[in-house]
Amino acid sequence: MHPGAGVDLAPLVNDDGESGRLRAALAHLFDPLVHGTIRLPGMAPVTYSGLDGLRDAWRDWLAHWASYRDEIEEVIDAGERVVVVHRCHSRPGADAPEVTHRRATVWTVRERRVTRVDFNVPYAEALAATGVA
């Protein structure tokens, strides 16, 4: 489900053709009623529904970045919930210096399908939400 550390996610998510191909390849892994949240800068978590909603969440997040690469640093299996820790490399503008930051995503999986995704969760909060010390 991850395109790789060297892939710039900004054009991938914003290109309708590429995004459509990605959706077709991954749709079977998600519950059709999947819900999720994303924490945008300076805002409370925003809720999204369905695969179209998850793409909207990514588009809203990527609106803040001219480029955005993401590498998986750690995966923590906590049963129905999985914490994925990301090291993100992004640029707020085309000529801006790269910013590196650490983010966590909490995935909820039931009956082998993703039912919920919470993006951009603070690391300690992600671990607490899954019961991992």
Residue 4 lies in a domain: no
Which band of pLDDT confidence, cut at 50, 70 and 90, is reported for residue 133?
low
Count of structural domains within the chain? 1
> What would the pLDDT profile of 9-25 be if each residue is shown by its tens digit?
888 888 889 888 988 99
Residue 2: inside a domain: no
Residue 3 domain-assigned?
no
How many other CB atoms are found less than 10 A from the CB of residue 45? 14
Examine residue 1 and state whether it is found in any structural domain, yes or no: no
Bridge-based pairing of strands 113-121 and 99-110 is: antiparallel
Q: How large is the average pLDDT for residues 43-49? A: 90
Question: Is the residue at 115 inside a domain?
Answer: yes
**What mean pLDDT comes out for the span 103-131?**
91
Q: Give the pTM.
A: 0.87
Q: What is the pLDDT of residues 75-103, one digit of tens each?
A: 999 999 999 999 999 998 889 999 998 88
CATH number for the domain harbouring residue 115:
3.10.450.50
Q: Characterize 73-93 residue by residue with b for buried, 16 or more Cβ atoms within 10 angstroms of its Cβ, and e for exposed.
A: eeeeebeebbbbbbebbbbee
Domain encompassing residue 29: 9-130
Residue 34 φ/ψ, nearest 5 degrees: -50, 140
